[in-house]
Amino acid sequence: MRPLCSLLMVAFLFYFLACSEENTAGVTEEENSVTAFEVETPDSYDLWSFTDSRQVVGDENLGYWFTYGDSVENKGARVVFSGTENAELSADDMAAVIDSCGGLCGTVKFEKSSKPVSAGIGFTLGKGKSTLDASAWNGLCVTYKSELAMNMKFRSGTEDGTEDEPYVEFPKVKQFSTHCAKWEDFKQAHVKGASEPAVKKLGAILFEFRSEEKQDGSFNIKGVGSYTDIVRQQENPPSSSSMKKSSSSSEKKSSSSSVEETPPSSSSVGKGETTYPASAAENLWLGSSYMYRVETKLFDESSTGGYWYSIEDTVDSESSRIVWPMPKGDAYDTKSLGPIIDYCGGVCGSLNFESEGFAGVGFSIVNRDDNGGSMKTGDITSWDGLCVRYLSSLNVDVVMNSAAFEDPSTLLQSPKVTLPSNDSLTTRCVEWDEFETGDASHVASLLFVFQGVAGTEGEFKIVGLGSLKNN
């Protein structure tokens, strides 16, 4: 990481502060508003991700994040970052912010104003007045969550501040999701016509929040990618009709509605070997949305129901059969798989069997105490079955446990269905009646178990779960 280029920062901040009074484009311009569309969250980003710290694109002197507001005294609108007291992000500050929340996060603070004021963050693409031709990107995609709607805007290096900056409205979202906009969908509030020529001389990308009311709102950005690269990673790329005009910032498309998918035929339902579209495994849990618990609908908020945990037939941590990509645990639970989900966009790990046995992950339907016992059973017959999106170098036993305690010595005697290994993300579904002697009306937990003999190695990743009834 290199320190912030102070001259570049000062120049950009001066420019923003100088022209912010005249800029009226934003989420309040409903007449010309266009809302970004949602896609599946990608595995990587070609422009920036929270693992890259400060730099975005360009050479070692370019592509750094900055912040701006509508008031020199920071009274009208301002951004306060988590993990640091500084408004300008040095390399160390940026690392502190990312460490605090796994992304570029902060809070936008607004005071009451007679007209909308703005504050936000952005990153540069050129040095001084130089620009970058971003035509080949075809647009931009962002993985984020935000309590406020935001405008993603772009600015060319030749603009003098008298023209509106092209923008697309990104909706407020409670959980991490990925939204995209193509260049031709960026509009200008007071100028008719396409904004595409401007992308040939791109100077900066901005994420702007606007309000005239006194309020605060948090945001967290985890990744920014070109439309070309992100769509290349989609199993079901969005069609050209995905982008639609919206007169309300509250309108939001679901991830499944933004892609064209053919539902499985009735003759294929319940066959574990049959593959399904990715959207079949997301109505209960979606790892890329940074969900930490499966929405079984049978637990209350004070219980531990639905949270992911690991299980092994050994209590010796030195011979643990699962090697995690990063340490488990958070401020509330030292065994939490939350950090794993953040890192992997799901639950993932490596398997290493020094002796014959099993290991796996799972979740309780209603509750599970700290010692892994005293579970209650719940009725999940209404799901009709379970859809799983996963990859694994070993077969996966989906175990239906109805006992109050997950006894390692008898656990594999519980009803189970085996899903085959595969080296790429695949969605498969099973009906409840495929679990011989299984009773879906009394289920304490659902587990995903891997078995191996001494010397067996492998890896796995589970990214989504869905009820079969909704597919």
The CATH number linked to 131 is: 2.60.120.430
Distance, in Å, from the CA atom of 84 to the CA atom of 87, rounded to the nearest integer, reads: 8
Pair (300, 151) in one structural domain: no
Cα-Cα end-to-end distance for the chain: 46
The verdict on residue 243 lying in a domain is no
**Sheet order of strands, 244-245 included:** 65-69, 117-124, 202-211, 150-156, 167-170, 34-35, 244-245
The verdict on residue 126 lying in a domain is yes
Pair (159, 282) in one structural domain: no
Pair (207, 323) in one structural domain: no
What does DSSP say about strands 215-226 and 104-110: parallel, antiparallel, or unpaired?
Answer: antiparallel
Distance, in Å, from the CA atom of 392 to the CA atom of 322, rounded to the nearest integer, reads: 13
Pair (55, 110) in one structural domain: yes
Residue 165 near residue 206, CB atoms below 8 Å: yes
Give the end of a domain, one of 210, 234, 258.
Answer: 234
Pair (218, 333) in one structural domain: no
Burial of 337-360, coded b for 16+ CB within 10 Å and e otherwise, reads bbbbbbebbbbbbebbbeeebbbb
Pair (341, 207) in one structural domain: no
Give the end of a domain, one of 234, 257, 288.
Answer: 234
Q: The tokens 């017959």 sit on which residue?
A: 381
Residues 6+ apart with CB under 8 A from 78: 69, 71, 87, 108, 109, 119
The verdict on residue 319 lying in a domain is yes
CA torsion angle for 124, 126, 127, 129 (degrees, to 10)? -110
User: In angstroms, what CA-CA distances link 260 with 67, 237, 238?
Assistant: 38, 8, 7
Distance, in Å, from the CA atom of 106 to the CA atom of 150, rounded to the nearest integer, reads: 13
> Which CATH number characterizes residue 378's domain?
2.60.120.260
The verdict on residue 266 lying in a domain is no
Q: Which domain holds residue 170?
A: 6-234
Per-residue pLDDT of the chain (471 residues; tens, 9 = 90+): 333 333 333 333 333 333 333 333 333 343 444 567 888 888 888 888 887 665 554 444 456 787 877 654 445 788 888 777 666 666 677 777 877 777 888 888 888 888 888 888 888 776 666 778 888 888 899 999 999 999 888 877 544 443 467 888 888 888 888 999 888 888 765 554 445 567 788 888 889 998 888 888 999 998 898 888 888 887 666 654 343 333 333 333 322 222 223 333 322 333 444 668 888 898 999 998 888 999 999 988 778 899 999 998 875 545 568 999 888 888 778 889 999 998 888 999 999 998 889 999 999 999 887 665 678 999 999 999 999 999 999 999 999 999 888 888 888 899 999 999 988 888 999 999 999 899 999 999 999 999 999 899 999 999 999 999 866
Pair (360, 213) in one structural domain: no
Q: Angle at the Cα of 174 (from 173 to 175), degrees rounded to 5?
A: 95
Pair (391, 461) in one structural domain: yes
Pair (280, 203) in one structural domain: no
What tokens appear for 375 in the block?
């579970």
Give the end of a domain, one of 234, 265, 295.
Answer: 234
The verdict on residue 358 lying in a domain is yes
The verdict on residue 215 lying in a domain is yes
**Sheet order of strands, 445-452 included:** 308-312, 357-364, 445-452, 396-401, 416-419
Residues 6+ apart with CB under 8 A from 94: 1, 53, 54, 65, 104
Please give the helix or strand (H or E) that residue 100 lies within, else none. Answer: helix 91-101
The verdict on residue 174 lying in a domain is yes
Burial of 375-384, coded b for 16+ CB within 10 Å and e otherwise, reads bbbbebeebb
The verdict on residue 252 lying in a domain is no
Domains: count for the chain: 2
Query: Which residues on adjacent β-strands are paired with residue 308?
Result: 363
Pair (54, 194) in one structural domain: yes
Pair (200, 280) in one structural domain: no
Distance, in Å, from the CA atom of 295 to the CA atom of 233, rounded to the nearest integer, reads: 27
Pair (70, 148) in one structural domain: yes
Residues 6+ apart with CB under 8 A from 168: 34, 35, 36, 151, 152, 181, 185, 186, 187
